[in-house]
Amino acid sequence: MNPTSSARVPRRPWPWGACALGLAVLAWAALAAGVVVFLSAIGMPGDGSHALASKQWILMLAVAVLALSALGSGVASVLAWRTQRGRGTAAVAALLLALLGLLIAVPLLVPGADPVVADDTIWQATGSRG
């Protein structure tokens, strides 16, 4: 074929299933990174919130990567399913996203319980603050 010809060379379509699976794994990795950063920022009682405040931008970055990769994975899963380009990997990616959504949503769905603060701390159970 002549390199100066104007004929179009057919391009391979995007592997949307692999893209969806990669983005779903990235969302799980962002959640894990956010949990590790949060747990590393917890200091001794009485130290204040200086460690958590210094890690705030890293936590926001992890949340942003989590949200954008989950959204991208959902879109890529739908595209893979409709264009029939990697339906199996798109189904696995959708399953990973569903598990991620359940992991995040279940503590928020418990009625009357705060997912962060425990109701029965040690000093309330024993009647003392020591």
Contact (CB, 8 A) for 90 and 80: yes
116 domain-assigned? no
Reported as a single tens digit per residue, the pLDDT across 66-102 is: 999 999 999 999 999 999 889 999 999 999 999 999 9
What pLDDT, on a 0 to 100 scale, did the predictor assign at position 55? 87
51 domain-assigned? yes
Lowest mean pLDDT among 3-7, 16-20, 122-126: 122-126
The angle at the Cα of 30, spanning 26 to 31, to the nearest 5 degrees, equals 120
Side chain identity, residue 107: P
Confidence of residue 128 (pLDDT cuts 50, 70, 90): low
* Domain that includes residue 95, residue range: 16-102
125 domain-assigned? no
71 domain-assigned? yes
Reported as a single tens digit per residue, the pLDDT across 9-33 is: 778 788 999 999 999 999 999 999 9
**Structural domain total, the chain:** 1
What pLDDT, on a 0 to 100 scale, did the predictor assign at position 14? 84
Among 110, 80, 97, smallest CA distance to 19 is for: 80
Q: Is the pTM of this model over 0.85?
A: no
- Residues 72-100 as b/e (b if ≥16 CB within 10 A, e otherwise) read bbbebbebbbeeebbeebbbbbbebbeeb
128 domain-assigned? no
